[in-house]
């Protein structure tokens, strides 16, 4: 056999080059040992009691290295964030994450990845009946309009289960007032009966659009297990909200996520994570007066495959 033939056979047996997955384009994983990744640029802690949050190096998703973030709420009026709407919350907000339509400042096709663990420690006696732990929020040009304040994307813990919510598309005008959004998918089950003191990994892929070509896919797994081949939640259709012009006399022209808002002129949606009960009251019927959640690995990627691959084994 000639050398050229041997070479050709060897080339045929070579393994394909490994696939190199993209790195995150935004890292908010607390490995600085503080919340400076979130507050750099435009971001802040939204908490009635700032002392009820901290970075923590003894309980991380990766086992023995890095830092996580610990947030807690108590049934105490001091935990209401009076700088906002006086709701119970201990949240971090990254106001310049700017997820939005093509051509805006942030990515239009993206995947957020993070891990969370609901802790049973201190005075926590049970899982909260309701808490929102993650969201992509629209800006004040829309959420200040009465009837349109609900954040477009959210992960909620309700009665021991994990749910996803999408509200998007056109605002609904009934001739007198705004009544929410024409795409409203709530209580979409991601995981039934989540366990306390157990890490869960989450990937949220969103293709941003006001129309039928939008995509939202969500995966969740127990840390250490495999992600499923199909998402726990899949939605095709609007993933961005907008308010049409010319219906409400107070809104003569369209309002959407591509428009710069505020002194900072920020566009798109923005990220928030932590504990938020959505009310100025402690939820009625709650069996526990405190809640503690740890977060880790909060990062944004160009694809869901890259997001999944970046979690530790």
- 70: part of which helix (H) or strand (E)? strand 68-74
Tell me the pLDDT tens digit for each residue of 9-32: 445 556 666 656 789 999 999 999
With tokens 């926590």, the residue in question is: 124
Q: pTM for the full model?
A: 0.92
Q: Which of 4-13, 182-191, 204-213 has the lowest mean pLDDT?
A: 4-13
Task: Return the DSSP state at 108.
Answer: S
Query: What is the CB-side half-sphere exposure of residue 240 using CA atoms within 13 A?
Result: 28
The domain limits of the chain are 21-309
φ, ψ at 8 (rounded to 5°): -65, -40
Which pLDDT belongs to residue 58?
A: 82
Tell me the pLDDT tens digit for each residue of 99-108: 999 988 899 9
* Pairing mode of beta strands 161-173, 241-243: parallel
Q: Which of 1-5, 239-243, 302-306 has the lowest mean pLDDT?
A: 1-5
Locate 152 and state its tokens. Answer: 């477009």
Q: How many CB atoms lie within 10 A of CB 49?
A: 17
Which pLDDT belongs to residue 147?
A: 96
Over 80: is that where the pLDDT of 5 sits? Answer: no
CA distance 309 to 304: 9
CA distance 190 to 261: 33
Over 70: is that where the pLDDT of 196 sits? Answer: yes
159-181 average pLDDT score: 97
Over 90: is that where the pLDDT of 68 sits? Answer: yes
Handedness of CA 175, 178, 181, 185 (dihedral sign): negative
Which pLDDT belongs to residue 12?
A: 52
- 47: part of which helix (H) or strand (E)? strand 43-47
For 21-309, CATH gives 2.60.120.200
Q: How confident is the model at residue 200 (pLDDT cuts 50, 70, 90)?
A: very high
Q: Could you give the C-alpha distances from 56 to 65, 72, 223, in angstroms and in order?
A: 11, 13, 19
Tell me the pLDDT tens digit for each residue of 202-212: 999 999 999 99
Q: Could you give the C-alpha distances from 162 to 17, 105, 230, 236, 256, in angstroms and in order?
A: 38, 31, 17, 20, 29
253-280 average pLDDT score: 96
Tell me the pLDDT tens digit for each residue of 30-57: 999 999 999 999 999 999 999 999 999 9
Q: Is the pLDDT higher at 111 or at 103?
A: 111
Integer Rg of the chain from CA: 21
User: Taking all residues of the chain, what is their mean pLDDT, rounded to a whole number?
Assistant: 93
221 near 227, Cβ under 8 Å? yes
287-300 average pLDDT score: 95
92-120 average pLDDT score: 95
Q: Could you give the C-alpha distances from 120 to 99, 132, 231, 297, in angstroms and in order?
A: 34, 18, 28, 21
């Amino acid at each position: 056999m000639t050398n050229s033939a041997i070479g050709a056979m060897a080339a045929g047996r070579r393994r394909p080059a490994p696939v190199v997955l993209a790195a995150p384009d935004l890292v908010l994983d607390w490995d600085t040992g503080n919340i400076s990744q979130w507050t750099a640029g435009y971001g802040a802690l939204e908490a009635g009691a700032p002392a009820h949050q901290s970075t923590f190096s003894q309980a991380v998703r990766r086992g023995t290295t890095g830092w996580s973030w610990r947030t807690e709420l108590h049934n105490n009026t001091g935990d209401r964030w009076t700088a906002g709407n006086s709701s119970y919350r201990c949240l971090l907000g990254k106001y310049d994450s700017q997820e939005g339509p093509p051509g805006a400042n942030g990515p239009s096709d993206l995947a957020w990845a993070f891990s969370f663990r609901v802790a049973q420690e201190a005075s926590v006696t049970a899982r909260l009946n309701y808490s929102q732990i993650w969201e992509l929020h629209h800006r004040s040009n829309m959420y200040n309009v009465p009837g349109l304040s609900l954040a477009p994307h959210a992960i909620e813990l309700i009665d021991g289960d994990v749910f996803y919510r999408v509200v998007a598309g056109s605002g609904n005008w009934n001739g007198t007032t705004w009544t929410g959004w024409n795409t409203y998918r709530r209580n979409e089950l991601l995981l039934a009966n989540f366990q306390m003191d157990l890490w869960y990994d989450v990937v949220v892929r969103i293709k941003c659009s006001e129309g039928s070509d939008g995509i939202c896919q969500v995966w969740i797994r127990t840390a250490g297990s495999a992600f499923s081949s199909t998402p726990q939640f899949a939605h095709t259709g609007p993933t961005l909200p907008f308010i049409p012009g010319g219906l409400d006399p107070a809104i003569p022209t369209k309002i959407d996520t591509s428009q710069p808002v505020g002194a900072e002129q920020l566009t798109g949606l923005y990220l928030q994570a932590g504990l938020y009960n959505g009310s100025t009251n402690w939820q009625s019927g709650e069996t526990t007066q405190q809640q503690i959640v740890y977060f880790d690995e909060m990062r944004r990627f160009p694809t869901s495959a890259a997001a999944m691959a970046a979690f530790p084994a």
